[in-house]
Structures are given as C-alpha cells and as structure tokens.
Amino acid sequence: MALAFGKWDNAEVKVSDLGLARYINLDTKMVPHSFGRKAKKRFDKGNIDIIERLVNKVMRSGQGKRKLSGKYIRGRGSCGKKLQAMQIVENAFEIVERKTNQNPLQVLVKAIENAAPREDVTRVKKGGIVYSQAVDVAPLTRVDESLKNIAIAGFASSFNKKTSAAEALAEELILASKEDNKSFSVKRRDEVERIAKASR
C-alpha cells in the first residue's frame, strides 16, 4: 500500500458514515493522478482515490456564473494545472497535521462526512406549475457536494487576501472536521438542508 504523497498512511482511517463508506475510496497512491482513466464510465468516479477527487475540485475556476450564498466565488487560477493543485493539497495536509497532530486523511474524511448535505430541493412541474420538492441526496452526490464546498471555501478564504490557498484549505478542513459553524462548507450544508426542510 502506497502512502499518500509518500507521507500519510490510510490504514487507521475510519469512515463513520456508513452511507458514504462505499464512495470514499481510500486506496491512496503516492501521486494522486489517474490520468482520466475513470472519467468515461458512469459512477466510476466513486472508485477514484478521495485525495485525487479533492485535487480535481481545487482545479475549478470557482463557482462559475451563478452566485453561491449571495456572492460570486472565484478560483485559484489553477484550471488544468494539476501539479499546482496537488501542491496546494499536500501543503494543506502538512498544515493540518502540524495544527491537529492527527492523520490529515482522517481529518479530510471527517470534514467530508460533516459537510455532506442529506437533503436538497428539486424543481417539479405539474400542470404548468413549477414548485420545489425536497428530496434525499444520493451518497455519491453528497461526497461531490461536500468536496466542492470544501474547495470553494478555500478559494473564498484566500482570494485577495494574504492567506495562501493551502492555509485556507487546511483551515476549512479543520473547521469542517469539528463541525464548526465558522466553516463555509458546514454553513452551506445547513443552508441547503434548511431550504429543503421548508419545501417538504
């Protein structure tokens, strides 16, 4: 078994949310890069190493044209620059280990579990009338949303500030793993679940 970035072992990492256990793949590699081999087949991204999935989310350009929680969020300018994204994640893991004295893989797994929304809304059209309906979120989508919000929190905390991307990402992972209300991804989960509860 290879160590993640040649430093961290996944042997003791536990996934406590059984609904997500199948979709949080901890088969770590020294270099988290599958070269898009698992991008073609449906649901195959569930078999991609969870660190690589986080790296892929860090490569986003931000939120895009839509506002998220009332504001536009820009990325870190690392679209397609996988080495840069890997460096950000590796540095973030080093900061997490230094601050918490825990395995950063365990902190990442805990953060994903805490930031994953259980309920969301979908638009239903009946007889020309469109209304929102609360639905349960699929486990793979829960992991996706959680990783997206963790990465976006890193962008939001470091954009136009002296904080580096790695520091912002590390801070978000630590806050989300503790389910702290200062965490952007936990706030986002609560917001999504609140809207869904109102649409039941």
Max CA separation in the chain (angstroms): 58
Pair 3, 26: CB distance under 8 Å: no
| Residue pair 196/120 in contact by the 8 Å Cβ criterion | yes
Cβ neighbours around 81 below 10 Å, total: 14
Contact predicate 48/34, CB 8 Å: yes
Tokens of 42: 């449906």
Domains and CATH numbers, the chain: 18-198 (1.10.455.10)
Closest CA to 74 of 59, 58, 82, 62: 62
Q: What is the pLDDT of residues 104-162, one digit of tens each?
A: 899 999 999 999 999 989 888 888 898 888 889 888 889 989 998 898 888 877 777 78
Give the whole-angstrom CA distance, residue 106 versus residue 116: 16
Q: Which two tokens stand for residue 57?
A: 């989310």
- Read off the pTM: 0.85
For residue 187, what are its two tokens? Answer: 């706030």
Max mean pLDDT range (31-45, 62-76, 178-192): 178-192
Sign of CA dihedral 147, 79, 10, 107: negative
Which residues, in sequence order, are bridge partners of residue 123? 132
What one-letter code names the amino acid at 60?
A: R
75-119 pLDDT, tens digit each: 666 677 888 888 888 999 999 999 998 888 999 999 999 999 999
* 12-46 pLDDT per residue, tens: 888 888 888 888 878 777 777 777 777 777 877 77
